[in-house]
Structure 1
Amino acid sequence: MTDEKDVQPLLEPREGIPSVVESDAALAATVQAFAMGAGPVAVDAERASGYRYSGRAYLVQLRRAGAGSALIDPIQCPDLTGLDAALDGAEVVLHAATQDLPCLAELGFRPKLLFDTELAGRLLGYERVGLGTMVEVVLGLGLVKGHSAADWSTRPLPEDWLRYAVLDVEVLIELRDVLHAELVESGKLPWAMEEFAAILAAPTAPLRSDPWRRTSGIHRVRTLRGLAVVRELWTLRDELARDADLAPGRVLPDSAIVQAALDLPRTTKALTEIAPFTGRSARRHLREWLNAVTRARIMAEDELPQPIGPGDGPPPANRWADRDPVAAKRLHAARSVVAALADEHRMPTENLLQPDAVRRLTWEPPEFVDDSVIAERLRELGAREWQVGLTALPLAKALQRLETKGEI
């Protein structure tokens, strides 16, 4: 651990800010340089979350020993399959890999071997695992901050932003090396490698059904007619946002959708009494917004959205005591086991065993409680082998104790 007063600011890249790769010829030269490099490859991507509709990458940063650093503009160079082929078999180092892998895959870059410095930090028990904090605590270097939430679709990109982007991969390999050594020393490297492989093997998340139901504040809408307004406005907003390539919230905030569902305005004047509808972007589509509300107001009863039925999983844990007191006791016992093991191995409970797996195991436990049966059930629920090895027997014993005491 580095003392805060000993932290040295990292202000400039070692080789300066490289020219942004914006042509096929420049990309080919970069691919060749990185193919001839050695060791792990540090990778990062910058998106324009909160500004643009999609989650695409607007800048890709790379660094490798022997190749230095590179900045690639994926708008001008949207095909990174050549880079993917050139680095086949190389370990790719990412921080919080699940955030960047989808947008990298859209470009044809799909790592086969991963080291995630954020996840390594979690497994090692670091309390704060943001990149800047990890670099500061582990390497004693202070990264430049301030542009992570910038609109990276901006062109040309300001020099300060490019400097920030290069520095994000400047010491990522050094961070990986220290964390790798700590994983080896703690005996956790096999756990980490299993976790990294699971990230790469994870299937693409399916599209959500009824995504409009995730509108912030929708819990305030208590009528089916109001829910119809939310659905109509959300759908229209999504179409407008997609066409304009804008983040939906920049077209119309969720708060406006919810308030319209509560007020059911009948005129444009009534609609503009809801403050967000007077914004420049929203005003362009006032008639369309009102038409959407009107469609919901006159919609036939059988066309209104229905309440969500029970899902395939257990209910929220805070309802277990009323719904199934026996299951609530199993959950409490299992959570205590997982918490104790997490403390013992110095990591967050959710990394030791996924909370959803704990809930599903205890809501509908196997008929016969035995460590081998529990182990198989945990595998079915997505637990990794290292997690099964640590938790199956203690969980089985805890559930068996409840049975012996006659509490379940």
Structure 2
Amino acid sequence: MNNENPDPKTDPKAEAAIAPETEEEVAPAPLLTLRDGLPAVIDTDDGLAKAAEALARGTGPVGIDAERASGYRYSNRAYLLQLRRVGSGSWLIDPIGLTTMQPLIDALDGTEWILHAATQDLPCLSELGLHPTALFDTELAGRLLGYPRVGLGTLVETVLGFTMLKEHSAADWSTRPLPDAWLEYAALDVEVLVELREALAAELVEQGKDEWARQEFNWLRGFEAPVRVDAWRRTSGMHRVRGRRGLAAVRGLWTERDRIAQQRDVTPSRIIPDAAIVAASQELPQDKASLLGLKGFHGRGAERYVTSWLKALDDAVTMGEDELPVRSPRSDGPPPPRAWSDKDPVAARRLALARESVNALAEERNLPAENLLTPDFLRRTMWAPPKTREPGALLDDIIERLAGLGARGWQIALTAPLLTDAILHAEPDDDSSDS
């Protein structure tokens, strides 16, 4: 029998086999446009009062988005608000020059907000006195539904069939006046939030996940941005700095840069980059010429504050030993998982078993494992589990532990039995004996 593959150049059957019939080209999704045109920007108190009246007359939930100036400004304040509600249309509000937000606060009282990636916008909205009575997060809904990509543009195209342009997502929204192209981009972010919410809500009901979503959205209402402790330790490239005095220099330069950036309301990297902090902390220069000759110390930000940089470096050099920072500060959490096998092999087995079970259940329920249970909650529980090994009491203690950490009820119900089993099966059988 001839086992050679037929030559498509000479065998018409082979050619047909590898060249299927040409399919009709799929038309690209239509581009999302503003159905009511570009609204004017509201930047006066009188204008806000009229916008609030119109929003109050609308019906149903309110699509809300906010634009910040991340990468340009130190603050996380909102430089533009976009709102849309059935019966009232879309509104663009510039909060910078307003003396009060009270009309909008009153108009939104008792409404459901629709946000995409609510944790990004809730802090800046809270600064304006805006707090949701109820909310629906389209990004989180997408995660719970198992969508592999949950960006707003992707969800709008996948669920509603419209393409969104995202070319101004990294713009400096503190710019005034804002270009019309930017404003159109901003308005489009709320153009179909109501329709997207309705479609995702129906899918949540269909998949039996609507109660999960309700609990998640209720938790989001109380969300506050976490306060970073020792934020200077996140300096990029800090691992190249040797010695505790070098770490003290990183801390001092980072702190001084942060103070200046906050005072000027610019992002810290625009004063000096992390690379400059690392370079100075490695060399510990003590004069202006040596400092300005280092990588990253160029431009007005570096030279303008050279006295501040030199003082921070001198403080690091002269600081007492007891004041120097350590490489790895003590933490109330467990050690990195890679160290568990050496520190506590039983805990490492617990973690491996628990992760395997949680990942399997997440795949079965079609959602990311981190949404099924926060990884930090899993690690903390497996590193220092309750002492009892009586199954019923252990399960009760795990439920109490997860609730105390902040897990939602639906997460606890699904994962507490898995963690209980992992603890019981990871430990050696005390009743076993060598033969």
Question: TM-score per shorter chain, which class?
Answer: over 0.9
2:401 paired residue number: 377
Could you tell me whether the CA contact under 8 Å between 2:247 and 2:327 is conserved in 1?
Answer: no
Identical columns (%): 55
Note the 1:38-57 alignment, pairs <5 A: 38-57=59-78
Could you tell me whether the CA contact under 8 Å between 2:249 and 2:313 is conserved in 1?
Answer: yes
- State how many pairs are aligned: 404
1:70 paired residue number: 91
Which residue identity does 1:293 align to in structure 2?
A: L
Residue number among 259, 263, 279 corresponding to 1:239 in the alignment: 259
Q: Deviations over 1:110-162 (max 9, x none)?
A: 11101000000000000000111111111110112111111000000001000
Residue number among 274, 282, 291 corresponding to 1:262 in the alignment: 282
Gaps of 5+ in 2: 1-24
Note the 1:239-318 alignment, pairs <5 A: 239-318=259-338
Could you tell me whether the CA contact under 8 Å between 2:45 and 2:99 is conserved in 1?
Answer: no
Q: Matched residues in 2 for 1:362 and 1:240: separation?
A: 42
1:214 paired residue number: 234
TM-score with structure 2 setting the length: 0.89
1:355 paired residue number: 375
2:120 paired residue number: 99
Rg bigger for which structure?
2
1:186 paired residue number: 207
Q: Matched residues in 2 for 1:228 and 1:400: separation?
A: 45
Q: Deviations over 1:183-215 (max 9, x none)?
A: 01111000001001111123553x433322222
Q: Deviations over 1:149-185 (max 9, x none)?
A: 1100000000100000000000111111100000011
Q: Matched residues in 2 for 1:257 and 1:342: separation?
A: 42
Moved more, 374-383 or 311-320: 374-383
The alignment's C-alpha RMSD in Å is 1.9
Q: Matched residues in 2 for 1:138 and 1:83: separation?
A: 30
1:226 paired residue number: 246
**SS of 1:141 mapped into structure 2:** coil
Q: Say whether 1:130 aligns with 2:151.
A: yes
Q: Matched residues in 2 for 1:380 and 1:255: separation?
A: 40
Q: Say whether 1:153 aligns with 2:146.
A: no
Q: Deviations over 1:348-371 (max 9, x none)?
A: 000001111111111111122433
**SS of 2:31 mapped into structure 1:** strand
How much has 1:81 moved relative to structure 2? Answer: 3.2
Which residue identity does 1:123 align to in structure 2?
A: L
Q: Say whether 1:327 aligns with 2:347.
A: yes
Note the 1:115-126 alignment, pairs <5 A: 115-126=136-147
1:30 paired residue number: 51
Moved more, 388-397 or 332-341: 388-397
Q: Matched residues in 2 for 1:232 and 1:398: separation?
A: 45
2:10 paired residue number: none
Runs of 4+ in 1 over 4 A off after TM superposition: 403-408
1:8 paired residue number: 30
Which residue identity does 1:373 align to in structure 2?
A: D
Which residue identity does 2:344 align to in structure 1?
A: D
Q: Matched residues in 2 for 1:113 and 1:252: separation?
A: 42
How much has 1:235 moved relative to structure 2? Answer: 1.7
1:172 paired residue number: 193
How much has 1:307 moved relative to structure 2? Answer: 4.2
Residue number among 83, 88, 92 corresponding to 2:104 in the alignment: 83
Which residue identity does 1:212 align to in structure 2?
A: W
Could you tell me whether the CA contact under 8 Å between 1:81 and 1:107 is conserved in 2?
Answer: no
2:17 paired residue number: none
**SS of 2:196 mapped into structure 1:** helix
Q: Matched residues in 1 for 2:321 and 2:429: separation?
A: 53
Q: Cα distance 1:338–1:4, how it changes in 2: closer, same or farther (>3 A)? A: farther
Q: Matched residues in 2 for 1:120 and 1:4: separation?
A: 28
Q: Matched residues in 1 for 2:378 and 2:271: separation?
A: 40
Gaps of 5+ in 1: none
